[in-house]
Structure 1
Amino acid sequence: MKKYKILWVDDEIEMLRPHIMFLEEKGYDVSTVTNGKDAIAEVKNREYDLIFLDEMMTGMGGLETLSVIKELNPNIPVVMVTKSEEEALMNDAIGSKITDYLIKSVVPSQILMVCKKILDGKKISGEYVTKDYLEDFSKISRRLLDDLDFDDWIDINLKMVNWELELDEHREVDLQQTLSEQKKESNQEFSKFVEKNYEYWINNKGKEDVPLLTTDIVEQFVLPHLESADGPVFLFVLDCLRLDQWLILEKHLLNYFSIEKDYYYSILPTATPYARNALFAGLHPSESENYYPDLWQDNKDDERSQNKHEKELLQFLLDRK
């Protein structure tokens, strides 16, 4: 096990001796200095995994010391320890890219918690990821033996995609191959499920045992907004976007939008010329060919742009409704 090196900077360091001894008993290598200049010298001469930095010190203050430390090593985690509860100071410290912020007086267990979170957080998290995934692996394997409905398959896919993202964050647990094999098995069973039910779905629109399909999207999710919205309604269609890609994108959008998610099943074929035209038309390909033979034939004759009539198809759909 790696012995982490911690530097504690405080002009009253002797008062913190019990905390330091506690950390050393837990296996940490703790060095101490009493001022900012000595702290900077230590950072220049030795590599540290974590620094506890007092904010109010004689001579060079904590924020000034922090600024120099970050210039020397921008990646080293620094925890500011201070008696002050002033919001302005907290903002200054956060703006200076501290890792954490503690208000004195602190107890040894608080310090240990910070050390574990910063230094061992990924390792501890990885251990729980392994445990939780193996439990979910068993549950999913058992579910694949059941008679699943379309909601069950959405749930299973969500679990697998979320595990895929989680395991990407924890490469050290080495479970990607296990997940890949389970996904392969799941895809095989899902293909059988679609083959068995697809014809029923397209012939029984609106029944409770039929999922939403590509052809239902505008009617279900766009028209209600057109009827109730006070301003413009925007429909963005992101072609070929996988669920895992969306979940990553969603994290960045949550700061700006309130997001509600719904799931649907694609029509077959899932290829762009068929699925996107079906989305805008609200019709299956064979229905579009019957209703709008000129548009359909025009699409066939131009392989470079088989979706060039999406505007017209959407307008026809809106006119029908």
Structure 2
Amino acid sequence: MKILWADDEIDLLKPHILFLQERGYEVIPVTSGNDALDVMKEEQVDLVFLDEHMPGMGGLDALSAIKEIHPTLPVVMITKSEEEHIMEEALGGKISDYLIKPVNPKQILLTIKKHTEARRLVSERSMMSYQQEFREIGMRLMEPMDHADWTEMYKRLVYWEIELSETEDENIHGIFESQKAEANAQFCRFYERNYMDWLKGLTAKPTMSPTVLRERLMPMLGADRPTFLIVVDNFRYDQWKYLQPLFEQMFRVETDSLFYSIVPTTTQFARNAMFSGLMPSEIERKYPQYWVNEDEEGYKNQFESELLGENLRRNGIGIRHSYNKVLNAQYGWKLVEGVNKLMHNALNVVVFNFIDMLSHARTDSNIVRELAADERSYRSVTRSWFVHSPLAELLKELAAREVNVVVTTDHGSVRVDNPVRVRGDRDMSVNLRYKQGRLLEYDVKEVFEVKDPASIYLPKRHITSPYIFARNNDFFAYPNNFNQYVQYYHSTFQHGGISMEEVLIPWVVLRGRTQAQ
């Protein structure tokens, strides 16, 4: 590794240079900024140490010139000055680090490793730590767990999924994926065992789609500030954790929690349940004008605003509120421009549909498939969208105001790779993760079967019309054209069934960093 060190007192730094050379580093010493630039025209270097005060071209001017030539090259400024304005100028010039003289050799060595080897060292440390965690997670999966334990387990798995995504060791990736698959299989069994009892109130239940607004949002609405509920359709917990550093540039995270989606984990069922505070069959019974069945014409979520209003009224909350659904960027930017008008409402609900559209586009578009080929790239595409989206701009506006901000979703999605055969008539629902129909044929061992939809508060289309749900990474495929069907949908992101990714979804409360405590 080649280090360029520019300092007009370079002779005094010979002990430091010798220390680095003994550890295998090649050090090129120069005495001015001009000399440093001359060297860089002839040599490829890995890092630059730059004295701030040198005759001729000083450190700050040299920094600007270096960044023009090599924008990503790590440059560390070393100076005797502790003046704040010099630090700010250096930071504004995209300095990688800032050291105050005198510096000792080990401090220099640590700085080099920090800026040239950090990724490798972090990767190695992550793998070592996960090997220990692997055993602990494995032992925990052998013990009985309740709904709160499962949320903590999923948080641990998401943490390690993101940590290990920075490593290039395929073996450790394979080990993690196997452990995650085992956890998912156990979670599905847990969910199936307890789901009906939760709905009937026979056992302690988690916060779920129909109760989340009553339990977590409505207690916030009496505050002396507006509340913004931002619902990002199909927003998985791992996507939230991947984006969290961007959010934390604007906000403090006050609550980072999960709640349970109902099944089917689709917008029609889960989001209508969330806004209404009711299960789907209860919506159909109480507000038939606001429920559109799968086999009926019309958009299935066109009455979310009305259902939200009814939910607030039933709970005795008479407040001024707004509802906006952002289906395209143009509407989103218009909403950002009008944010001042929303400040007069006690509650503002904003739904963003992009991530759900992305997951469906990934199925239909070869280009999007390549951009979001796996979990890691799917998170990366989500991040790229967020950085340049109206949502990011809206959050910047809200971060500077006295408001409560909640970010959540209606359901997640899972990457499917295991086809499960199912037959049915032409009235069978088309979703790949759940099916409803009169003449369904399937292997009962491969699905979560609900013969009576009323038992889980789902509308019944026919007298004999069961629901079946796919588990883990399964998806339903028709025997006709089976291979073609499997090839088309294999490795796509789907939702509607049971998996940790679909069911355990984020509820995040934020407070702007500039707001009073």
Give the TM-score range, shorter chain.
over 0.9
Q: RCO higher in 1 or 2 (8 Å CA, sep ≥ 6)?
A: 2
Shift of 1:196: 0.6
Change (3 A) 1:49 1:174: farther
State the match for 2:147 in structure 1: 150
2:160 counterpart of 1:166: no
Shift of 1:299: 4.6
State the match for 1:213 in structure 2: 208
1:23 aligns with one of 20, 23, 31: 20
Contact 1:126 1:172 in 2 (8 A): no
1:234 aligns with one of 228, 234, 256: 228
**Identity fraction in percent:** 45
Q: Which moved more, 1:64-73 or 1:271-280?
A: 64-73
Change (3 A) 1:7 1:173: farther
2:183 aligns with one of 186, 189, 199: 186
Distance 1:225 1:61 in 2: 55
TM-score calculated relative to the size of structure 1: 0.93
State the match for 1:257 in structure 2: 251
Change (3 A) 1:303 1:16: farther
Distance 1:303 1:240 in 2: 23
Alignment of 1:40-59 (within 5 A): 40-59=37-56
| Secondary structure, aligned partner of 2:57 | coil
2:288 aligns with one of 289, 293, 315: 293
Distance 1:145 1:152 in 2: 12
Change (3 A) 1:147 1:76: same
Superposed CA offset, 1:118-160 (max 9, x none): 1111111111101111111111111111111111111111111
Distance 1:19 1:27 in 2: 13
2:29 counterpart of 1:32: yes
State the match for 1:270 in structure 2: 265
Distance 1:274 1:303 in 2: 16
Shift of 1:75: 1.5
Distance 2:114 2:217 in 1: 44
Distance 1:174 1:63 in 2: 45
What value does the CA root-mean-square deviation take over the aligned residues?
1.6
Shift of 1:194: 0.7
What stretches of structure 2 of length at least 5 have no aligned partner?
316-517
| Secondary structure, aligned partner of 2:259 | coil
Distance 2:260 2:276 in 1: 16
Superposed CA offset, 1:46-80 (max 9, x none): 00001111111112211111211111211111111
2:137 counterpart of 1:140: yes
Shift of 1:311: 1.4
Superposed CA offset, 1:196-238 (max 9, x none): 1111111118x6x311111111101221122x22233222211
Structure that is richer in strand per residue:
2
Shift of 1:35: 1.4
State the match for 1:200 in structure 2: 197
Q: Which moved more, 1:287-296 or 1:105-114?
A: 287-296
Distance 2:298 2:164 in 1: 39
Contact 1:126 1:173 in 2 (8 A): no
Q: How many residues get paired?
A: 314
In the alignment, residue 51 of structure 2 is paired with which amino acid? Answer: D
2:75 aligns with one of 78, 86, 111: 78
In the alignment, residue 147 of structure 2 is paired with which amino acid? Answer: F
Shift of 1:293: 2.6
Distance 2:238 2:42 in 1: 44
Superposed CA offset, 1:79-124 (max 9, x none): 1111111111111111111111111111111111111111111111
| Secondary structure, aligned partner of 1:247 | helix
2:277 counterpart of 1:279: no
In the alignment, residue 312 of structure 2 is paired with which amino acid? Answer: L
Change (3 A) 1:256 1:66: closer
Larger Rg: 1
Shift of 1:173: 6.7
1:108 aligns with one of 93, 105, 109: 105
In the alignment, residue 46 of structure 1 is paired with which amino acid? Answer: E
2:241 counterpart of 1:247: yes
Distance 1:221 1:50 in 2: 50
Change (3 A) 1:77 1:303: farther
What stretches of structure 1 of length at least 5 have no aligned partner?
none
| Secondary structure, aligned partner of 1:215 | coil
